[in-house]
């Protein structure tokens, strides 16, 4: 909730000038973001209150649905193109980005696959690996290299945490790097972004304009910042300041110290997520926690790296801070998954502490089993007990004789009756029977 509150405060400041100039309502984007947050919180609450084994039953279906929506963005007339990239689908007055909605299902299904790797057949493994590759290729063709890289790195780290052989991991990393090189060689604007990243000041009015204005905003903040709402670069100088470059507005208004506090908060969040992963009772839950941490914290660090010029310029939003309904809902659902993993680990610890050892069943006094259990057993004295006694020790070394039934009379033996079929007789009848024989 702290992360969400910081994001709302920064978004209100960053989007106010643009919304006021476009629609005459400075709080327009802030109000829409509140709606998406409420929807995302309802989804996150549902995820946090239901067991993961139930949620993972829908992970495969959700993955295929999101993959179909990503493919639909490539169909003419369905996809919406913004800034040269076709990544959105219309949903009434809003736009949704299927590649962002894919992320929670990608975490769940990859954790299920790699966490139970040896339980699946080889054919099933290759099928899901192929589905993951198709999803990444569909995102890359939009084109959306940054989201493809984030999803690919998340899959790779989940596979590494599950204990996959390093040889396979290196081969997969090599294939991913090769796909990135091919994409950069085909797409001209991606090559221009890399060139402008290496030297943005040589193209300060062209391809390096965004990065240069972002650096101006970060440098203008100084140590303590200009104050909330007092940033100047958002007033028509810094492009898309409420989405991809929202960290630049934050750094300008809260300064170097505010940026350090944000980085410390991300470090604490990642530490808590790793502790949750370590306390998880199953490998699948552990991989889910790792995937949630990688997507939330890793994507935040990439956004900060782009804003500060440490990474090439990409269109990657800051989780729970940038404007956008798809990114907000996806981030809140991922946070709900992390909360659910922590709850299941805590519940398992409580059950383990409250479990008592099994006690022998108590019987009612006077019951038949109780009476038989209380019958004294014959005690056989040993040699040590009869030391100094006149009784020979060998006599006491013999085991106690069991109570045997009386022998079958000779007359009955001749008639072919066994001992088990001899009818039980009373004392008087026994004596009369023996005398008569």
pLDDT per residue over 343-386, tens digit each? 998 876 655 555 555 555 555 555 555 444 455 555 555 544 44
Q: Greater confidence, 194 or 217?
A: 217
426 domain-assigned = no
pTM passes above 0.85: no
87 domain-assigned = yes
381 domain-assigned = no
Beta strands in 318-400 (DSSP E): none
Tokens of 284: 């699948």
Q: Which residues of 269-293 are buried (b: 16+ CB within 10 A; e: fewer)?
A: bbeebeebbebbebbbbbbbbbbbb
Nearest to 134, CA basis, from 148, 153, 120, 113: 148
Does 250 have pLDDT greater than 70? yes
Query: Which residues, other chains included, contact 130 with Cβ-Cβ below 8 Å and sequence gap of 6+?
Result: none
170 domain-assigned = yes
211 domain-assigned = yes
392 domain-assigned = no
Query: Which residues, other chains included, contact 57 with Cβ-Cβ below 8 Å and sequence gap of 6+?
Result: none
The parent domain of residue 318 ranges over: 2-351
Query: Which residues, other chains included, contact 33 with Cβ-Cβ below 8 Å and sequence gap of 6+?
Result: 8, 11, 323, 325, 328
Residue 86 β-bridge partners: 81
| Number of domains making up the chain | 1
197 domain-assigned = yes
Q: Are 254 and 221 in contact (CB under 8 A)?
A: yes
371 domain-assigned = no
- The predicted-structure confidence for 25-56, as pLDDT tens digits, reads as follows 888 999 999 999 999 999 999 999 999 999 99
């Amino acid at each position: 909730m702290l992360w969400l509150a910081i994001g709302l405060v920064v978004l209100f400041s960053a989007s106010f000038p643009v919304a006021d100039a476009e629609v005459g309502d400075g709080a327009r984007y802030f109000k829409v973001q509140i709606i998406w947050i409420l929807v995302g919180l309802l989804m996150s609450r549902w995820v946090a209150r239901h067991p993961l084994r139930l949620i993972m039953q829908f992970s495969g279906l959700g993955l295929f649905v999101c993959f179909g929506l990503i493919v639909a963005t490539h169909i003419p007339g369905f996809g919406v193109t913004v800034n040269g990239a076709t990544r959105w689908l219309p949903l009434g007055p809003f736009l949704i980005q299927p590649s962002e909605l894919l992320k929670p299902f990608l975490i769940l299904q990859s954790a299920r696959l790699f966490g139970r790797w040896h339980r699946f057949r080889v054919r099933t493994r290759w099928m899901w690996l192929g589905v993951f590759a198709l999803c990444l290729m569909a995102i890359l063709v939009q084109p959306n290299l940054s989201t493809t890289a984030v999803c690919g790195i998340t899959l790779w780290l989940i596979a590494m945490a599950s204990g996959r052989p390093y040889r396979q991991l290196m081969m997969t990393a090599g294939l991913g790097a090769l796909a990135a090189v091919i994409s950069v060689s085909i797409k001209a604007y991606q090559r221009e972004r890399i060139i402008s990243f290496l030297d943005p000041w040589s193209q300060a009015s062209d391809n390096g304009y965004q990065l240069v204005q972002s650096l101006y905003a970060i440098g203008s903040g100084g140590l303590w910042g200009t104050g909330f709402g007092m940033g100047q670069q958002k007033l028509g100088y810094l492009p898309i300041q409420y989405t991809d470059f929202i960290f630049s507005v934050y750094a300008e208004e809260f300064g170097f110290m505010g940026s350090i506090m944000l980085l410390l908060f991300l470090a604490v969040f990642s530490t808590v997520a790793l502790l949750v992963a370590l306390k998880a009772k199953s490998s699948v839950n552990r991989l889910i926690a790792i995937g949630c941490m990688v997507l939330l914290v890793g994507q935040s660090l990439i956004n900060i790296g782009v804003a500060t010029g440490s990474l090439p310029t990409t269109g990657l939003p800051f989780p729970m801070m940038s404007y956008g309904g798809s990114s907000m809902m996806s981030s809140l659902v991922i946070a709900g998954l992390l909360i659910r993993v922590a709850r299941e680990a805590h519940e398992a610890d409580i059950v383990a502490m409250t479990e008592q050892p099994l006690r022998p069943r108590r019987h009612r006094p006077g019951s038949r089993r109780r009476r038989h259990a209380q019958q004294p057993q014959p005690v056989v004295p040993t040699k040590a007990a009869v030391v100094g006694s006149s009784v020979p020790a060998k006599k006491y070394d013999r085991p106690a004789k069991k109570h045997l039934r009386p022998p079958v009379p000779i007359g009955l033996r001749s008639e072919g009756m066994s001992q088990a079929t001899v009818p039980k007789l009373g004392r008087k009848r026994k004596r009369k029977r023996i005398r008569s024989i």
